[in-house]
């Protein structure tokens, strides 16, 4: 296990940096790339389950759509899942695309503060990056482009209420389709 000091050092090392900058063959951080970095940086062999526990402690991982909504939006999100989501999954299947649910969480106990922007695929694969929070940051264009990868795969991205539509990247390639999850406009940053 990582000591708390090592965990904070790791979070700081990941801030604003992608795995390819460490010579790793990933566009965004994953459990596997994080496992490799921990091994290299701390000479500490952790299995995927232990690294997955860190990611869950950081607030990453699959969540039900209703968990992505503020209390005022739960019924709207549940209706959306029944009415809109099936069409998104059908379109993704037709284009051999992956569906990602994207959101952000604030990591507590870090100085300076850190936000984790994550995308969880419908298959449960977690991809993420760590940033230094700013006031009302836009949805990072680089993050969305990296979801598509070097292969330029088609992706459908469901964006939670962390970012209003006017903070979404503009002029994305057609292979990247953004879908808004219903939101009353309140930022959703789970602790």
Q: What is the pLDDT of residues 35-69, one digit of tens each?
A: 999 999 999 999 989 999 999 888 887 777 777 76
| 102 has a pLDDT exceeding 60 | yes
Mean pLDDT of 130-153: 89
The pTM assigned to this predicted structure is: 0.87
Distance (Å, rounded) from C-alpha 93 to C-alpha 89? 6
* pLDDT confidence bin for 111, thresholds 50/70/90: confident
Mean pLDDT of 80-106: 94
75 and 113 share a domain? yes
Structure tokens at 44: 């500490």
Which residue(s) pair with 165 in the sheet? Answer: none
96 and 145 share a domain? yes
Q: What pLDDT does residue 188 have?
A: 38
71 and 129 share a domain? yes
Q: How many Å from the N-terminal Cα to the C-terminal Cα in the chain?
A: 22
| 187 has a pLDDT exceeding 50 | no
Q: Given 57, 79, 102, which residue is the final one in a domain? A: 57
Rounded to the nearest 5 percent, the helix, strand and coil shares of the chain are 40, 20, 40
127 and 164 share a domain? yes
What are the φ/ψ torsions at residue 157 (nearest 5 degrees)? -120, 120
93 and 33 share a domain? no
Mean pLDDT of 120-142: 89
Domain count, the chain: 2
| 186 has a pLDDT exceeding 60 | no
Q: Tell me which residue range forms the domain holding 35.
A: 4-57
124 and 174 share a domain? yes
């Amino acid at each position: 296990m990582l000591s708390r000091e090592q965990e904070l050092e790791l979070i700081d090392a990941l801030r604003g940096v992608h795995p390819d900058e460490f010579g790793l063959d990933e566009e965004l951080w994953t459990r596997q790339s994080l496992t490799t970095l921990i091994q290299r940086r701390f000479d500490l062999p952790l299995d995927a389950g232990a690294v997955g526990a860190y990611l869950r402690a950081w607030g990453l991982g699959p969540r039900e759509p209703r968990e992505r909504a503020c209390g005022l939006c739960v019924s709207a999100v549940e209706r959306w899942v029944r009415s809109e989501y099936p069409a998104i999954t059908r379109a993704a299947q037709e284009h051999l695309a992956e569906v990602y649910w994207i959101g952000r969480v604030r990591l507590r106990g870090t100085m300076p503060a850190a936000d984790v922007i994550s995308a969880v695929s419908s298959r449960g694969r977690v991809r993420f990056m760590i940033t230094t929070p700013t006031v009302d940051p836009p949805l990072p264009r680089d993050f969305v482009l990296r979801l598509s990868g070097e292969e330029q795969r088609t992706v459908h991205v469901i964006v939670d209420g962390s970012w209003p539509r006017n903070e979404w990247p503009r002029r994305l390639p057609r292979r990247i389709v953004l879908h808004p999850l219903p939101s009353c406009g309140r930022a959703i940053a789970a602790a």
